[in-house]
A = this chain, B = another copy of it.
Amino acid sequence: MVTAREAREAAMDASKYVRYTPEQVEALERLYYECPKPSSLRRQQLVRECAVLANVDPKQIKVWFQNRRCREKQRKESGRLQSLNRKLTAMNKLLMEENDRLQKQVSHLVYENGYYRQQTHSAGLATTDTSCESVVTSGQQNLVAAPPPQPPPRDASPAGLMSIAEETLTEFLSKATGTAVEWVQMPGMKPGPDSIGIIAISHGCAGVAARACGLVGMEPAKVAEILKDWPLWLRDCRSMEVVNVLPAGSNGTIELLYMQLYAPTTLAPARDFWLMRYTSILDDGSLVVCERSLSSKQGGPSMPLVQPFIRGEMLPSGFLIRPSDGGGSVIHIVDHLDLEPWSVPEVVRPLYESSAIVAQKMSMAALRYLRQVAHEDTNSVITGWGRQPAALRALSQKLTRLGSSNSTNRSNSL
């Protein structure tokens, strides 16, 4: 058993247990990184080549690699379990929140339903149903909340913008986490263990809206950075330009954006948007990015139309990004648009009236892109994950320059 131990250098004689020197460990680690499972031949070669390993028995090398593999395996398994645990816990939390929201929505609908049913009955008896509609309308919250009773000054002044921004934030949050919109199940989007998230689309509210919740293993700041860069993940985005940036409150930023979309068919002109974007941090550490159109209706400055485009309207929308316990983020996305379907021929109008399309093209595309980026480089170099879309973005910019005059200097949103 105590054979071939004489090969070891002078200092140690019969003590079989020796710790390898830091240099030796370093060398072995380096070799392990190159090849964690060297052959018998390769091991002998190592002993000959590497000076610091000259005095080590090839058998010891073999054992060291075995132990090293074993350690890595154990650590990996433990890490895998822990990360899976964090993910599942976060998913659980998200699902419970969604459950809670759905429960509330059900309660509300059941209540409302009872009211309607009663109305229908009483309408058959007496004709006191003139108040019906108004009462119900005030009782339900399914439409976008009306502006506050005393609208603050609405101009392009910082105070005016701030007022609009805060209102947008409130409305977005109530759509994202509350029952401000009657969300219904996205057709074909069953919740599953490997599904992209929880997807819902609007029902019976003005415009078209979609909502998505999901998890992604990425820091909130990075998620926001990506999501704010529409051309990166929104295929239909032809260009986006940040016209103005101004600070708002503590940690808040208000931006004015101009964005152009591609037209889905040649039968209809493309849409463009003038948007206000408000980025801020909530008390609980969540990052919120919310947006809405700026139009003369809102009292803001009237933005000039750009010729081949039809001006679309974005109703309060945005992203809520909450840091998850496991290091990732919980993301809520709401996209609520009015694509002015009156302006397109009737045959293509469904394209402009479908919430499901918004869900597919915007909300889900955003989640999908984030997932892709997050999985693409798990733990490897963080830089360099914007490579593929770069070409696409260049094309987009080129097209933009050809098509209109104002979309050259992009913001440094990446």
Contact = CB atoms under 8 A, between A and B. Distances in A.
Instruction: Bin chain A's interface residue count.
Output: 35 or more
Interface stretch (A14-22, A244-252, A327-335): A14-22
Interface stretch (A182-190, A278-286, A301-309): A182-190
Given A120-B119, A120-B132, A185 B95 contact: no
A6 interface: no
Interface in A102-118: 102-107, 109-110, 112-114, 116-117
Contacts of A203: 110
Task: Give the oligomeric copy count.
Answer: 2
Contact of A1 (B15, B95, B112): B15
Q: Is the interface of A mostly helix, strand, loop or mixed?
A: helix
Contact of A109 (B77, B113, B121): B113
Contacts of A98: 99
A73 to B, nearest CB: 13
Interface stretch (A155-163, A191-199, A337-345): A191-199
Contacts of A66: none
Contacts of A17: 1
A92 B88 contact: yes
Contact of A120 (B110, B120, B185): B120
A102 B95 contact: no
Interface of A: 1-2, 14-17, 77-78, 81-82, 84-85, 88-89, 91-93, 95-96, 98-100, 102-107, 109-110, 112-114, 116-117, 119-121, 123-124, 129-130, 132-133, 136, 182-185, 190-193, 198, 200, 203-204
5 contacts: A77-B78, A96-B192, A104-B185, A110-B182, A117-B136
Given A95-B96, A98-B99, 12 more contacts: A2-B14, A92-B95, A96-B193, A99-B198, A103-B185, A107-B184, A110-B203, A113-B116, A116-B119, A120-B123, A120-B129, A120-B133
